[in-house]
Structure 1
Amino acid sequence: MICTLYNNSDDGSDDIEQYIWTCEETFSDAGIILLCDCIKEDKTRQQLNMSDNNITSEGAKCIAEAIKVNTTLQKLDINGNNLSDDGATAISECLKYNNSLQELNMSYNNITSEGAKCIAEAIKVNTTLQKLDIRGNKLSDDGATAISECLKYNNSLQELNMSYNNITSEGAKCIAEAIKVNTTLQKLDIGCNKLSDDGATAISECLKYNNSLQELNMAGNNITSEGAKTIAEAIKVNTSLHTLNIYHYHLSNDDRPSFNMTILTAVHHNTTLMKLTLPLVSGDNKVKITSEVEKINKERTRQDISTLTCYYSL
């Protein structure tokens, strides 16, 4: 298995050096132990990708010890392994000491709310991490609540992905409370969870106060036309959001047109939203929706405002 470490050279190209270990067809924990010795001594590499390598919590502990002393690594990708909560705890602990890591991907690693609580404690004190991807785990509402609480204190995180984590409206309410006071988060992905209209209402309400969030993905939840109304009210007054994804494959064909028109009617009052993804419609409904987007863009062109690009998805 090849583990590639990237070092950006002065001329902008990537100077690629490959560390090759063989351990029963995968890198696994045994290979990680050897590699971590290199990470401790390395003074130049900025990116490390160890995704999909059957790494367990034991390997994660070795990675954590290496990152405690490494001062140059900026991006670490360990998604698609089997870290579990013990591994997440180890990685989290090292974040309290590391001052160089800017991007961390721990998606799809069987992390539950217990691991999320440790991650949250680390983010409270870490001042360099800008991007955190923990999608596809098992955070649930307790994990979402813990992560949300840390957002009230953290001033460095700019991108957070918590999609595919069985978060319901209760977790969404905690996320919303955090976003009301957080001033640095620019991109939030809570798609493909279990948010209902109550969750959409909570998130929408916080958008009336937040001035930093630029991209929001709430697609693939259980939001109906009632939830769309609260999202629409937020769109009317929000001035920072430029990308919104709310397509909804659970929505019936009969409800899709009204859902879309509710959102687009609100966009007439908005001047900053540039990318919008809505539930797919067809036939006469598609013609009507397309016409509404054209009206929005005609008015924006007249006012010399950036036009809206509208996408549709099942």
Structure 2
Amino acid sequence: MPLKNQQRIQTDTARNRDRTHTTTTTTTSKKTVSTSKQLAGGVVQPRPISGTTKISSATTSIIFGINPKQTNHSQPTKIITEVDDTNIDEVLTLTDVSLIPRSFLTEIQQDEVYATILEALRKKMPYQIPPKTPPRQEEDDEEEKPFSPHLLAIDDDDDDDISVDDEISSSSSSENNPIVSHEDYDTDIETESIVQNVHDPTGREQYRELCQQANIIPCSYFMAHIQDSEMTLRYHQFNTEDIRAITKTLYTNLNVEHLFLDGNHLQQQATKHITQLILTNDSITELSLADNRLGGDEGTKEICRLLTLNRNLKKINLSGNKFNELDIAQLIEAFEQNKILRKLDLSHNCFGEHCGKTLGAFISSNDSLESIDLSWNKFRGRSAIDLVNGIKENVRLKYCNLEMNGLGPDSGQILADCIKQNSALEEFNINGNRLNTSNAFAIAQALSSNDSLQVLKIANNQINCDGVLAVFLCVKANEANALREIDFSYTVVTQETVDVCKDIVKLKDGKFRYRIGKVTPPKLQPNSTSECYVKTNEELLNRLRSNAANVKPNAD
């Protein structure tokens, strides 16, 4: 360690003398403290400090790093500015660490070479030299804490200065505010951050992360209703990645029970994600995949896999998916293995003349389905007869919709037999099936002995006003019937039909609703023969009138 030049030694000596004088004055008299500022050329000029600031002997001891028990006498002492081979023995004999240069103390603490010297100093002054601690980070090494505030004034730079006010302020703040461990503080923050990330009961954060990974825009409606029991996501034009994010989010969701994904033109891969969701989440009991064009080789296979492995789904809507005769065999096989399904919607597909027999056989033997919708398909001729025969033999079905299939007049009698023999069916929709007046008479006679059917929809057929009258006459005559609604919308009727309907309403205490078309004047002939409207069986109609006349409503 080289010695400094003569001018530096003189400057340090003057600074030491001024500090010693200030300490003595503060300890003995507790009067106004002044500090000295060194000017260029080594001249020292005193600078006054606020008169209200006082330093106690205890505070002075802390500032100078001196043992409080040794503060009874303050004498001028020699401060060592540099340590080298010539004065190392003198350093080891010192009793005050404040007299040792801070740079030397820092060096012996950081360098293992000086371990012996550091241990010797620590044995002599254990309360002044803190134990060695390993450095944490590069930033902590640069911001080392001084051993004593007084040592801050001992610097190699001649231009630095420090005031006693600064020392007092630093010491007071250190006493009033205990040092907080940076490691503990960082640990607390990290723990809180982890808890916030894990605590996501709604699944919204997981959904956002999945969307961010796939580089897609999150669906705001999905996030807003993620805790509802019914999730309606119709016609959002979702792609495969959208469906993947939604289904993965719903894996652990116990709120959603009804999921509607109609009109999204789902692809095969998207259907696989939906299948995995249904197999994973036991809370979803209703699924709607209408208008997604899933019909075809791969799409049909995935739907069949869903139906075969399903253990919780009770309602499924597969309407508008272009299923056809090539898909019917696979679908029926999947339906037969599923004993959980209660409601099945296959409307608006392309099932034709070769599908009636297969579907009819499935329906006749099924004992789990309670509702089936086959409307807007193409069951005609023999296919229609086989289908209706299957419905007739079913003992569990409560709702059946065959609207707009074009069953034709040949199916009229089998429809009447179905109504007469099936004691489980409660709602039957045969709107728009080209039925004629003769078919209406057959259905009317079947209603005379039925006591289970509650709703009959037979509008938009080729039935004249006498056929409508025959149906209502039989309903009136059968006091045991359970009918509460009959729909003959857009069918022309006579005033006699209106009167019979009013009588039925009275007989059922107002719990009966009917829909009819326009009422024709009495002068018009409703029984004109044509291709659409066949001539009425007057004898049968009169007999029905007679039977209905015996049942009269109570007088008001």
Q: Tell me which interval the TM-score lies in, with the shorter structure as reference length.
A: 0.7 to 0.9
Task: Please point out which of 405, 411, 414 is paired with 1:221.
Answer: 405
Instruction: Write the deviation string for residues 76-98 of structure 1: whole angstroms up to 9, x where unpaired.
Output: 11111121333223312332332
- Residue pairs, 1:17-28, within 5 angstroms: none
Post-superposition offset of 1:247 = 1.5
- Cα 1:144–1:88 change in 2 (3 A) is farther
RMSD: 2.9
> Which residue pairs with 1:84 in the alignment?
267
> What are the ranges of 5 or more consecutive residues in structure 2 without an aligned counterpart?
1-203, 208-214, 491-556
8 Å contact from structure 2 (residues 436, 462) kept in 1: no
- Could you state the TM-score of these two structures normalised by the residue count of structure 1? 0.78
Task: Please point out which of 266, 287, 292 is paired with 2:446.
Answer: 266
Equivalents in 2 of 1:173, 1:86: separation in Å?
Answer: 32
Matched residue SS, 2:428: strand
Instruction: Write the deviation string for residues 117-154 of structure 1: whole angstroms up to 9, x where unpaired.
Output: 32222222212112111111111123343332222222
Answer yes or no: is 1:94 the counterpart of 2:270. Answer: no
Task: Please point out which of 472, 475, 490 is paired with 1:297.
Answer: 475
**Count of residue pairs the alignment pairs up:** 277
- Residue pairs, 1:51-90, within 5 angstroms: 51-90=234-273
Equivalents in 1 of 2:476, 2:362: separation in Å?
Answer: 37
- Cα 1:35–1:294 change in 2 (3 A) is closer
8 Å contact from structure 1 (residues 256, 279) kept in 2: no
8 Å contact from structure 2 (residues 363, 394) kept in 1: yes
Answer yes or no: is 1:190 the counterpart of 2:374. Answer: yes
Equivalents in 2 of 1:77, 1:308: separation in Å?
Answer: 31
> What are the ranges of 5 or more consecutive residues in structure 1 without an aligned counterpart?
1-17, 22-28
- Could you state the TM-score of these two structures normalised by the residue count of structure 2? 0.46
Instruction: Write the deviation string for residues 210-231 of structure 1: whole angstroms up to 9, x where unpaired.
Output: 1111111111112111022222
- Residue pairs, 1:1-314, within 5 angstroms: 30-32=216-218, 44-114=227-297, 115-248=299-432, 251=434, 256-280=436-460, 285-286=464-465, 288-301=466-479, 303=480, 305-307=481-483, 309-313=485-489
Q: Residue type matched to 1:294 in 2?
A: F
Matched residue SS, 1:178: helix
8 Å contact from structure 2 (residues 336, 366) kept in 1: yes
Matched residue SS, 2:396: coil
Q: Residue type matched to 2:283 in 1?
A: S
Comparing 57-66 with 118-127, which one deviates more in the overlay? 57-66
8 Å contact from structure 1 (residues 260, 279) kept in 2: no
* Higher RCO structure (Cα 8 Å, ≥6 apart): 1
Instruction: Write the deviation string for residues 88-116 of structure 1: whole angstroms up to 9, x where unpaired.
Output: 23312332332111111111112113323
- Cα 1:197–1:61 change in 2 (3 A) is farther
8 Å contact from structure 2 (residues 441, 471) kept in 1: no
Equivalents in 2 of 1:293, 1:92: separation in Å?
Answer: 46
Q: Which has the higher strand share?
A: 1
8 Å contact from structure 1 (residues 192, 219) kept in 2: yes
Equivalents in 1 of 2:393, 2:375: separation in Å?
Answer: 21
Q: Residue type matched to 2:256 in 1?
A: L
Instruction: Write the deviation string for residues 214-267 of structure 1: whole angstroms up to 9, x where unpaired.
Output: 111111112111022222222221111111111226x3xxx6322323333323
8 Å contact from structure 1 (residues 208, 234) kept in 2: yes
